[in-house]
Structure 1
Amino acid sequence: MENGYTVEQLRSAATDAIRAPSLHNVQPWRFRLRDGGIEVLVDPTRRLPATDPSGWGARVACGAALFNLRLALAAAGAPATVRLRPYPAEPDVLARLLPDLPRRPSPAEQDLYSAIPRRFSNRAPFWPDPVPADARWRLGEAARAEHCWLELLIGVSAVNAFAEIAHGAHRVLERDPAYGAEREAWVRAEHAPDGIPAAAGGVQAEPQDLLPSRGFGGVQRAPGRDFEPEPLVAVLGSAGNTAVDQVVAGQALQRMLLTATDAGLSVSMLSQPIEVPSAREQLRMSLGRFGTPQMVMRIGYGQPGWPTPRRPVDEVLDLPVHLA
């Protein structure tokens, strides 16, 4: 299409976009070509009513997919200008991308783009090696580049205080039968195109664990394979908590995750303190931050693994009838 993106560009970029993370790997996104622009939509049929009643998680996930989409287009020499929530009457349309001036990708963009297929959530215990200062700085810069803030919890007292908040939120969530049933419904057999494969569910929780973990059918851990006693915990936050703020936070999250992958780091996400409003506010106050915490991550060095499966890209594309 003249002066706009083509179906081929949409399909190629969306193939990378769908590698973004999402709660329970539900993949709540769709991509549409309209009037030469690529639009990112949240798929209302893939929301989690018990886990994510407000749609926060779906919008963060779509923001992460949007960052991959931006990166893929830039890597192909066709960068985009982005408008968030472009149509007030269509709230499920979260972003619209139009071609910017063509240019070669920067080395930083190439490095992040190459990390997309290697990124995955690592729910297993990490090695005791500390995350070096330069890698921590890069993670903070990644958040700031997407207009968000990052707080690293370093030291026993800070991590223990967070652990108390996280366990409290975890207990609240686990008391809801619908929450547990929804989680179990998304545990999948190997090679399923969505959900959490049982083998990727991490190890089963034990009483001595410092931080809570969801029960995704994880395996029994080997003796001596406890979680690290002083994990690096990172809290990602945005200026506010509107739908636009959540999409912005999703983009920052994905830039951080790809930056971590490029640095050889592993990451697992701890969203329980974000899912419980009182715990989220308690976390914000404990950090002394303005704005809203949007995701918590555990970061370190871990055993190599593999990304979880994704649906075929054509299942998430909406094309004009004459081009489909």
Structure 2
Amino acid sequence: MKDKAIHAAIEAATWAPSVHNTQPWTFAVYGEEIRVRADVERKLRVSDPQARELFISCGAALFTLRTALRAEGYEPIVRVLPDPDRPALLATVRLGSPLTPDEITGILAGEIKRRRTHRAGFTDLPVPDRLVERLVGQAAAEKATLTPIRMPEAVDVVAALTQAAQRVQSGDRAFSLEVIRWARPPGSSRRDGVPADAYPRKSGQERFPQRDYAHGHDWGTTTDQRMSTATGIVAIMTTPGDGHHDWIATGQALQRVLLHASAYGVSAAFHTQALEMYQLREFLRHELCSDEYPQMIMRLGITFEDSRGVRRPLSEVLD
């Protein structure tokens, strides 16, 4: 029973979100202990030289693992960064006491494979304020701060910085080649990267531009975007510090927020371009984030579109 729970939890963890769907993690099992490790070969060396986004991605996988183990009936006992001599070992998770999963755990576990990253505009349907406040509380439970940007002027600033960063990165050959590496053409059999059907040919959301995964090709879906052009709620996730522990905490908070949002039919779009440029990130930190470190910029909204998720098989990520 325990072996089955461990393998089910690891398989669930592979469905966590990751930058460009790089899936930069591996898992190893030693008895009743699961080790979560960073796959540094999948690090974005141009846009993420410090591996901040890699750690956030792995933190999301860690929270997914925790949730799946609870759904399987075991309390996870987690140690983050347990060995300073092995920096790629991000966490260990041991099976604790048996438990009866509560209703919320069951709901979150059910959203793990259903959740999708959105890469276009949203409908005009509002996200209820009570739900937004609940999501703020979920982030706080993982020691991160989720701040909805309510002032239109502040939203304009975040949008302008995103546009500026996207233009600079699009004109930088090294940045562009890195995005191209993780863009999947139509019909590709790869199980990582961003599929061509995961974004529209025209996003309808030029205010918050997405990456140019099509890079000049006629890729993307032809879904009618006329009803999906709203920005949604812009929010920034921050932490007091900016080290490995903070990045892993961000990933856990992010996935906790995303699974709760998905349970209410709310999707998220991510915009990390400005956070990959030091000067722009520092501007955001001082001017909009009360000197906390911005770790993620996202939009939350409602969409009726669906996309196919792709993940590497367990055999590729499990030692």
- TM-score, normalized by the shorter chain, greater than 0.5: yes
Aligned to 2:34: 38
Residue pair 1:142, 1:255 contacting (<8 A) in 2 also: yes
| Separation in 2, partners of 1:87, 1:156 | 45
Aligned to 2:278: 277
Aligned to 1:55: 51
**Count of residue pairs the alignment pairs up:** 312
Aligned CA distance change for structure 1 residues 60 and 161 (closer, same or farther; 3 Å): same
Aligned to 1:194: 192
Cα distance, 1:239 vs. partner?
2.0
Residue deviations 1:200-226 (CA, integer Å, cap 9, x gap): 1333367x8211211122356757456
Cα distance, 1:51 vs. partner?
2.4
Cα distance, 1:7 vs. partner?
4.1
| Separation in 1, partners of 2:118, 2:144 | 23
| Separation in 1, partners of 2:277, 2:78 | 31
Is 28-37 or 72-81 further displaced after alignment? Answer: 28-37
Q: How does 1:131-146 map to 2 (within 5 A)?
A: 131-146=127-142
Task: Look up the SS of the partner of 1:119 in the other structure.
Answer: coil
User: Among residues 108, 111, 132, which one is paired with 2:107 in the alignment?
Assistant: 111
Aligned CA distance change for structure 1 residues 224 and 113 (closer, same or farther; 3 Å): closer
Counterpart of 1:136 in structure 2: which amino acid? Answer: V
Residue deviations 1:69-116 (CA, integer Å, cap 9, x gap): 000001111121111100111000000112222211122211111111
Any stretches of 5+ residues in structure 2 without a counterpart? 215-219
Task: Look up the SS of the partner of 1:130 in the other structure.
Answer: coil
- Given the alignment of the two structures, is residue 239 of structure 1 paired with residue 236 of structure 2, yes or no? no
Q: How does 1:65-214 map to 2 (within 5 A)?
A: 65-188=61-184, 189-190=186-187, 191-204=189-202, 209-214=206-211
Identity rate of aligned residues, in percent?
Answer: 35
Task: Look up the SS of the partner of 1:94 in the other structure.
Answer: strand
| Separation in 1, partners of 2:194, 2:314 | 18
Residue pair 2:73, 2:100 contacting (<8 A) in 1 also: yes
Cα distance, 1:6 vs. partner?
4.9
User: Among residues 227, 244, 267, which one is paired with 2:229 in the alignment?
Assistant: 227
Task: Look up the SS of the partner of 1:129 in the other structure.
Answer: coil
Task: Look up the SS of the partner of 1:187 in the other structure.
Answer: coil
Residue pair 1:86, 1:93 contacting (<8 A) in 2 also: yes
Is 13-22 or 47-56 further displaced after alignment? Answer: 47-56
Any stretches of 5+ residues in structure 1 without a counterpart? 319-324
TM score, norm. by length of structure 1: 0.90
| Separation in 2, partners of 1:202, 1:55 | 29
Cα distance, 1:307 vs. partner?
4.2
- Given the alignment of the two structures, is residue 306 of structure 1 paired with residue 298 of structure 2, yes or no? no
Q: Please, what is the CA RMSD of the aligned residues?
A: 1.9
| Separation in 2, partners of 1:60, 1:170 | 21
Aligned to 2:217: none
Aligned to 1:289: 290
| Separation in 1, partners of 2:101, 2:225 | 47
Aligned CA distance change for structure 1 residues 13 and 154 (closer, same or farther; 3 Å): same
Residue pair 2:120, 2:203 contacting (<8 A) in 1 also: no
Counterpart of 1:163 in structure 2: which amino acid? Answer: A
Residue deviations 1:37-95 (CA, integer Å, cap 9, x gap): 11100011211212222111111110000000000001111121111100111000000
Cα distance, 1:237 vs. partner?
1.1
Counterpart of 2:130 in structure 1: which amino acid? Answer: D
Counterpart of 1:227 in structure 2: which amino acid? Answer: T
Is 98-107 or 213-222 further displaced after alignment? Answer: 213-222
Residue deviations 1:238-280 (CA, integer Å, cap 9, x gap): 1211111101100000001101101111111111121112111
Aligned CA distance change for structure 1 residues 290 and 109 (closer, same or farther; 3 Å): farther
Residue pair 1:23, 1:57 contacting (<8 A) in 2 also: yes
Aligned to 1:322: none
Residue deviations 1:118-171 (CA, integer Å, cap 9, x gap): 100111221011211111112101101111101101242221111112122222
Q: How does 1:242-257 map to 2 (within 5 A)?
A: 242-257=243-258
- Given the alignment of the two structures, is residue 26 of structure 1 paired with residue 27 of structure 2, yes or no? no
Cα distance, 1:285 vs. partner?
1.9
